[in-house]
Amino acid sequence: MSWLHDTLEAIFAVIAWPAAAYFVLANTSMLLLVLLAARHFARYLRRSEHRGEDAMAASPLSLGVSVIVPAYNEAAVILTSVRSVLDLRYPDHEVIVVNDGSKDDTMRLLKEGFALVPDERDVPGRIPVRGALRGVWRSPDPAVPLLVVDKENSGRSDSVNLGLDLASKELVVMVDADSILEPDALLSVSKPFADDPERVVATGGVVRIVNNSRVQAGRIVDIRMPKELITRIQVVEYLRAFLLGRTAWSDLNALILISGAFGMFRRDVLIDVGGLDADSIGEDFELVMRIQRWIRHGHRESRVEFVAEPVSWTEAPSTLKVLARQRRRWHRGLWEVLWKYRSMLLNPRYGRVGMLALPYYWLFELFAPLIELVGIVLVVLGLLVGAVHPGMALLLLIVAYVYGTIVTLAAVVVEEASFHRYERWRDMGTTLWAVVAESLGYRQLTAIWRIQGWWAGLTNRTQVWGEMTRTGFAGATDASDAVMPGASATGGQPDRRD
């Protein structure tokens, strides 16, 4: 096996320094993003006393918001969900539920629950949709601004597009029927539009993990860490990548991804860019990229902003099977969107998006799992044939592990100093254990799934959405709570979780 030994030594001689540089760069950039976000939070929270949300909540001058709720087989949750969205604290919002050809009682429950009557007005047709329209219904009560659209099944993006076509307010927000929104969600996320209505074209809010938290009548009343380790690790991941990472990118005016589970857009801009791409797997990512391109092509001074306030809570996968499917899909979506917009990469015309955000996503998001797994294979082979010094390898591994842990721990420290939503000491303990455990198998496993997703994208394999199996929330205290999250959202629509 001396040829293998020699080959590996030759490979290590070439890649050792670039690999080390990559590792340091990847973690250091994440650390810088965390620090940038920490600075943002410090300013944001100091100003929180006089942001004027109460004045905004009472002002008839606030911009109107259309909340689009695509629903597929959501009979178990739909009434609670729609009522909780209608009850959000906001002076002028309408709710548009798009029933995406549900096979269960979703439509019947809506019709009966809100005594809907047919809406015989025209459908504008500003955005092409695929699913055939069956009918539009509205609440006869002017105090209940609810519109329900019934259509053939054609997927979430197409349903959102139809809702967008019927929206009448200045701003549009898309939420999932199974998400739980904070009462002030619309106020928080629409604030940047109110502050700068000419320039802000889209905002994203923080999506957090609800597993094991206590829910009452569609509202979270007690926030707890999830029970399962893999879900706890996702809490830490969400903190680091979504809350802090996106806050920092927003600060750099280079935000290219806002969550499909809660994003707010100016309606005219969304119609201008053609709504969601129904063929895209990462349709939320694709949409923001299209908006960023629209901004730069039109030499506009528009901005996409991220609001650090928690606004939406969603159930995260609690089994490896569902998590694997989610990560495959995310990475495939990432690849497809990055490839579609490759002309923006390192293109100064696109400013920080082209020169900073996209290189980061290519290098440290898309290629990361490949580089990590290749590294692991080479080191293991090197150890087996004696091309790598075991003691040195172990020491290097520990240093790398501790540095990675510092980055994640920094995110936890920032969360503790800012929003500190997990108040129990026990939750702190489980969070720290999740920080430690993330690099011990979980990250490597997700790397494998991500490569599988990438490969499926490269080979154009048909995407199967599958089911997002829900396990339910703890401590539900009435009938509506008990059923709300417990249903299995079957087929048809993807589980939008990032």
Partner 1 sequence: MTTLLPPSLLWWLLAIASLVVVGMLISLVTQRLVRHRRERRRAELDERLRPLVLEASIAEDDEVDALLARVRALDAEERAHVGRTVSLMLRGITGEAADRLRAVADASGLAPRVIAAAHHRDAVIRADVAEALGLLAPEGALALLLELADDPSSDVRTVAIRALGAFDEPAAIDRVVVALAEGSGVPTSVAASALLQQGGAVGDRVRLALEDDDPGVRRGAARVAGLLQASGTADALARLVADEHESVRLAAMRSLERMPVRAAVPALRSAALDGGTVGEAAARALVAMPRSWTADALADIAAVAQLGVRRAAGLPSAEARA
Distance CA 347, CA 423 (A): 45
Q: Is 122 in the site for partner 1 (CB under 8 A)?
A: yes
- Contacting partner 1 within 419-448 (CB under 8 A): 420, 425, 428, 432
- Quick check: 321 binds partner 1 (CB under 8 A)? no
Q: How many residues bind partner 1 (CB under 8 A)?
A: 60
Spatial distance between the Cα atoms of 193 and 268, rounded to a whole number of angstroms? 13
Contact 125, 164 (CB under 8 A): no
Q: What is the DSSP string of 304-366?
A: EEEEEEEEEEEPPP-SHHHHHHHHHHHHHHHHHHHHHTGGGTT-GGGHHIIIIIHHHIIIIII
**Residues 366-405 as x/- pattern, contact with partner 1 by CB under 8 A:** ----------------x---xxxx-xx--xx-xx--xx-x
According to the binding rule CB under 8 A, does residue 50 interact with partner 1? yes
Nearer residue to partner 1 within complex by CB, 406 or 445:
406
Does 171 engage in binding with partner 1 (CB under 8 A)?
no
Phi-psi category of residue 306: left, alpha or beta, with phi > 0 → left and psi -120 to 50 → alpha = beta
Nearer to partner 1, 59 or 444 (CB): 59
Q: Candidates 48-56, 106-114, 206-214, 482-490 — which segment interacts with partner 1 by CB under 8 A? A: 48-56
Q: Smallest distance from the beta carbon of 121 to partner 1, in angstroms?
A: 5
Pick the closer one to partner 1 by CB: 56 or 323: 56
Interatomic CA distance for residues 163 and 172, integer angstroms: 9
Which of 366/410 has CB closer to partner 1?
Answer: 410
Minimal distance in Å, beta carbon 52 to partner 1? Answer: 6
d(CA 209, CA 434) in angstroms, rounded, equals 14
Site string for partner 1, 191-210 (x = CB under 8 A): ---xxxxx------------
- What is the spatial distance between Cα 42 and Cα 25, in angstroms, rounded to a whole number? 25
Q: Does 301 bind partner 1 (CB under 8 A)?
A: no
**127 three-state secondary structure:** coil
Q: Please, what sign has the CA dihedral across residues 440, 446, 452, 455?
A: negative
Q: Name 174's bridge partners.
A: 68, 263
Site for partner 1, rule CB under 8 A: 9, 12-13, 16-17, 20, 46-47, 49-50, 52, 54-56, 59-63, 120-126, 166, 168, 194-198, 267-268, 382, 386-389, 391-392, 395-396, 398-399, 402-403, 405-406, 409-410, 412-413, 416-417, 420, 425, 428, 432
